Amino acid sequence: MSVELTIDRLGAQGDGIAETPGGPLFVSFTLPGERIMAELARDGRHADCLAVLDASRERVAPVCPHFGACGGCSLQHLETQTYLAWKRDIVLQALASRGLDVLVEPVRAVPLGSRRRATFFLERRGKDAVLGYRRARSHDTIEVDVCPILSPAIVAALPALKAVLLPLLGGRPEARVSITETETGLDVVMKGAPPPETALAKLAGTAGAQGIARITVGDESVMLTPPSLRLGRAEVRLSPGAFLQASPAAEAEMVALVRAGVGKAKRVADLFSGLGTFSFALAERASVDAYENSAEALAALEDAARRTPKLKPMRGHRRDLFQDPLGWQELKSFDALVFDPPRAGAAAQSEQLAKSKLKRLVAVSCNPGTLARDLRILVDGGYEITRVTPVDQFLFSSHMEVVVHLRR
């Protein structure tokens, strides 16, 4: 059924929200103040915009021809400064929900074309296939030939990658494909499709010609060049599908903020350290103890630390900080601490930090909601929030990173 709606506000995920007698309706790709014609979805909570009758003055032309069909971006149609203010407001609202009234700096956004990793879907279509993103609110895949947020090297490689990967589908209808641009070439991980016998081995010559450093399917890999990236002075060799920050530009911003937050500390703990995004930068000035539960990430960090000269001492510790957080007494030997947990946050670890005597903390988070919860624990324990900086490395979406400085 088609209805006329007026969009009242933007939701937390970037959808326009129209308040109706039956409750709010979420309408993608619309803006506050717009009058639209929409088709109601069966769930009674969503609607699809059919036409914009009165457009917002803040509506702009999207930078991608796939916008509106592709489900990857939700806000390319919103004027830049309004978009950044909306993202900052997400952080402000999350903090306010926990009674935290603090200054939040303007959002620092990365440039277009700077994202170095993305997940695609390879979907069989007869004898051919499409390699692309999911269509908005759908399980269909749309072919991607342009993606302004992605590194040009990844976009340029997609047609050849499709040809390389299609034989690996076997009899499966589709597979998830993660692509990461590294210093030595593309690192490709294909899930959901066990490789036909010998198929991977046959790809060695073809893959190298397409700038692929490694292809991994299941537990099997063909590696032409070890994928690696530089973190500070260190060259870190990556395991298949290793987690790293989505954008080198955002990583540089976050590293600078973390270094500023620990100041002149001589011994620093880096919790949820991963590959060492912050550890290696910090080890140029201070000794670092890195705590991480992933054996593969920790092994990569320790290997790189051994091969990198002119660093202060670095020590790796495998530890599940959710089940076994560092106790407040264990924290006595550190001058400062950095923690960058997954989206679930670090409530248990924050409880221990709140009991500690550490003078400087830096919290890094990709989830403003769990970040605000953890900050409330720390503030109640006597810490003061001195700086909050959002970093937008997920352009045109509701996601972002936030770096927070705290002191006693």
11: CATH: 2.40.50.140
Average pLDDT of the residues of the chain: 94
CATH number for the domain harbouring residue 165:
2.40.50.1070
171 and 273 co-located in one domain:
no
The Cα–Cα gap between 155 and 147 comes to 7
Confidence of residue 197 (pLDDT cuts 50, 70, 90): low
The Cα–Cα gap between 337 and 288 comes to 10
Q: Which of 43, 59, 75 is where one domain is finished?
A: 59
Residue at 236 is within a domain = no
The Cα–Cα gap between 402 and 93 comes to 13
**pLDDT tens sequence across 215-233:** 888 778 888 889 999 999 9
Q: What is the pLDDT of residue 1?
A: 81
Residues above pLDDT 90, as percent of the chain: 83
The Cα–Cα gap between 62 and 9 comes to 20
126 and 267 co-located in one domain:
no
122 and 104 co-located in one domain:
no
Residue at 367 is within a domain = yes
Active site residues: 366
Q: Are strands 360-365 and 336-339 parallel, antiparallel or unpaired?
A: parallel
Residue at 238 is within a domain = no
Residue at 76 is within a domain = no
Q: Which of 42, 59, 76 is where one domain is finished?
A: 59
| Class of residue 23 by CB neighbours under 10 A (exposed 0-12, middle 13-18, buried 19+) | exposed
Residue at 68 is within a domain = no
249 and 352 co-located in one domain:
yes
In the predicted structure, residue 206 carries a pLDDT above the cut 70? no
3-state SS of 285-330 is CCEEEEEECCHHHHHHHHHHHHHCCCCCCEEEEECCCCCCCCCCCH
**pLDDT tens sequence across 235-277:** 999 998 899 999 999 999 999 999 999 999 999 999 999 999 9
In the predicted structure, residue 327 carries a pLDDT above the cut 80? yes
Q: What is the pLDDT of residue 235?
A: 97
279 and 224 co-located in one domain:
no
Residue at 66 is within a domain = no
Q: What is the pLDDT of residue 374?
A: 98
Q: What is the pLDDT of residue 196?
A: 59
273 and 296 co-located in one domain:
yes
DSSP line for 348-360: HHHHHHHHS--SE
CATH number for the domain harbouring residue 389:
3.40.50.150
106 and 122 co-located in one domain:
no
253 and 388 co-located in one domain:
yes
pTM of the model: 0.94
**pLDDT tens sequence across 7-32:** 999 999 999 999 999 999 999 999 99
Residue at 74 is within a domain = no
104 and 130 co-located in one domain:
no
The Cα–Cα gap between 294 and 275 comes to 9
Confidence of residue 167 (pLDDT cuts 50, 70, 90): confident
DSSP for residue 150: B
Span 168-173, mean pLDDT?
83
49: tokens are 């915009």
Which residues are registered as beta bridge partners of 188? 179, 215
182 and 255 co-located in one domain:
no
Q: Which domain holds residue 14?
A: 2-59
Q: Are strands 174-182 and 267-271 parallel, antiparallel or unpaired?
A: unpaired
252 and 318 co-located in one domain:
yes
User: What's the domain count of the chain?
Assistant: 3
286 and 341 co-located in one domain:
yes
Q: Are strands 117-125 and 128-134 parallel, antiparallel or unpaired?
A: antiparallel
Q: Which of 228, 252, 269 is where one domain is finished?
A: 228
Confidence of residue 204 (pLDDT cuts 50, 70, 90): low
Which residues are registered as beta bridge partners of 222? 215
Residue at 393 is within a domain = yes
Q: What is the pLDDT of residue 397?
A: 95
Q: What is the pLDDT of residue 19?
A: 96
